[in-house]
A and B are shown apart, each in its own frame.
Chain A
Amino acid sequence: MFKNFLPNKILSINNKLINNLISLMIVILFIGFIYAIFISPPDYIQGDAVRIMYVHVPSSFISLGCFALIGIASILNLIFKIKFMPLIAKSLAPIGAVFTLISIATGSLWGKPTWGVWWVWDARLTSMAILFFFYIAYMLTWKLITKYEKAKKVSTVIAILGLFNLPVIKYSVDWWNTLHQPSSITLTSAPTIHYTMLFPLLIMLFGLAIYSLVIFLMQYKSELIKFKISNKKKNN
């Protein structure tokens, strides 16, 4: 499976694949938006304010998922010295950071009409803010440290430390009393979201995931090319 991310395969990704993915993404997101805004029902307590969930929840999933992948890629590079892993992580970071911001912003927009506040420092929201700072720290190490090997080592440390924050984010609503509500979708019990709302939620998640994949592929390709050029310069 790793072979698919080998430089040779990725560099041969022509624009046609990316264009096809973009078309797929547009269709899915369009269907998702129509469902989210028009077809899905209002919530029995929150009314139409619940529709923010269709952007907020997928963004949160993607934000956590990207950092998990960054952590895994960094660990794989640390243990097995797989050379393209840091480039994968580096390409994922801006995507995850943006979705973390979207999650926090849409969360605030949702919180004001429902809870009555834009922000509280409860465990869930605070740990999400911490995740954002980890993303910034990760991206800054690559920007500020010019030597590739050193940047790789520092960013690996940041990625691994940030990994410990992920279970804290996920279980914060179970471990402590928080304002943010508990999880509605869990691995162990049935979802507490009615299927008329769960369905558009999954469509939006799928659409935004494809969007992330498209951006990742474009970013990764350019990172690979930059890496190869800098290697050629070093060897000359």
Chain B
Amino acid sequence: MLTKKARLRIFYLTLLSFFVAIIIFLVLKSLEENVVYFFSPTEIYYKSNISLKKKIRVGGLVKEGSVKKKEKGINFVITDLKNEIIVSFTGIVPNLFSEGKGVIAEGKLRDKKYFITNKILAKHDENYMPPEVSKALAGTK
């Protein structure tokens, strides 16, 4: 079945695919900062060229017990279990926002430890289960 012509076509196609894959990899790598939708607190901590004027997004888990109501919003802490950042949010808190769950905040850094935002998105993880199962799991913790 594999004629000489077919083999030649396979060879050229493989060669082309190899180069296209490399091109796409390089493009995505160089665009990394724009492809990444948010930075984790650890990434903010280690980033050397953070601009305090540009709007960025920080994401992670809402630290348990860190939510404090303030006049027109809330203050809370985003953690990625290695580093934390304090967030000051002004606005209406979305439905699925809760402690211990994922959140993404869009705004500006005041400094590497303090973030000011008026837009937060609740992020949920890949686990799906009925309420009874989650209660049972919580009971065994």
Residues of A with Cβ closer than 8 Å to B?
Answer: 41-46, 50, 53, 75, 78-81, 113-117, 120-123, 160-161, 164, 168, 176-179, 181-184, 192-194, 196-197
Q: Assuming the A-B contacts A79-B13, A114-B124, are A164 and B37 also in contact, with contact meaning beta carbons closer than 8 angstroms in the complex?
A: no
Q: Which of B35, B40, B122, B130 contacts A116 (CB 8 A)?
A: B122
Q: Assuming the A-B contacts A43-B130, A114-B96, A168-B28, are A176 and B1 also in contact, with contact meaning beta carbons closer than 8 angstroms in the complex?
A: no
* B contact patch SS: mixed
**Is the Cβ of B126 less than 8 Å from the Cβ of A184?**
yes
B46 contacts which chain A residues (CB < 8 A)?
A: none
CB distance from A158 to the nearest CB of B (A): 13
Q: Tell me the chain B residues, 30-59 only, with Cβ under 8 Å from chain A.
A: 32, 35-40, 59
**Is the Cβ of B10 less than 8 Å from the Cβ of A79?**
yes
A120 contacts which chain B residues (CB < 8 A)?
A: 37, 121
**Is the Cβ of B124 less than 8 Å from the Cβ of A45?**
yes
**Is the Cβ of B130 less than 8 Å from the Cβ of A44?**
yes
A161 contacts which chain B residues (CB < 8 A)?
A: 20
CB distance from A181 to the nearest CB of B (A): 5
A127 nearest in chain B by CB position: B35
What CA separation (Å) do A53 and B10 show in the bound complex? Answer: 40
What CA separation (Å) do A157 and B77 show in the bound complex? Answer: 49
What CA separation (Å) do A176 and B31 show in the bound complex? Answer: 12
Query: Does B131 belong to the interface (CB within 8 Å)?
Result: yes
Query: Does B133 belong to the interface (CB within 8 Å)?
Result: yes
B40 contacts which chain A residues (CB < 8 A)?
A: 177
**Is the Cβ of A44 less than 8 Å from the Cβ of B129?**
yes
Supplied contacts A41-B132, A123-B35, A164-B24, 17 more A-B pairs, CB within 8 Å: A41-B130, A42-B131, A43-B128, A44-B135, A46-B96, A114-B95, A114-B122, A115-B96, A115-B121, A115-B124, A123-B36, A164-B20, A176-B32, A176-B37, A177-B40, A179-B38, A181-B126
What CA separation (Å) do A80 and B4 show in the bound complex? Answer: 11
B35 contacts which chain A residues (CB < 8 A)?
A: 123, 176
**Is the Cβ of B36 less than 8 Å from the Cβ of A176?**
yes
Q: Assuming the A-B contacts A43-B130, A78-B13, are A181 and B101 also in contact, with contact meaning beta carbons closer than 8 angstroms in the complex?
A: no
**Is the Cβ of A115 less than 8 Å from the Cβ of B123?**
yes
A45 contacts which chain B residues (CB < 8 A)?
A: 96, 101, 124
CB distance from A67 to the nearest CB of B (A): 16
What CA separation (Å) do A75 and B9 show in the bound complex? Answer: 10
A160 contacts which chain B residues (CB < 8 A)?
A: 13, 17
CB distance from A54 to the nearest CB of B (A): 11
Q: Assuming the A-B contacts A45-B96, A117-B121, are A177 and B37 also in contact, with contact meaning beta carbons closer than 8 angstroms in the complex?
A: yes
B13 contacts which chain A residues (CB < 8 A)?
A: 75, 78-79, 160
B15 contacts which chain A residues (CB < 8 A)?
A: none
Q: Which of B104, B125, B133 has the most CB of A within 10 A?
A: B104
Q: Assuming the A-B contacts A80-B6, A178-B37, are A116 and B94 also in contact, with contact meaning beta carbons closer than 8 angstroms in the complex?
A: yes
B126 contacts which chain A residues (CB < 8 A)?
A: 181-184, 192
Query: Does B134 belong to the interface (CB within 8 Å)?
Result: yes
What CA separation (Å) do A121 and B37 show in the bound complex? Answer: 8
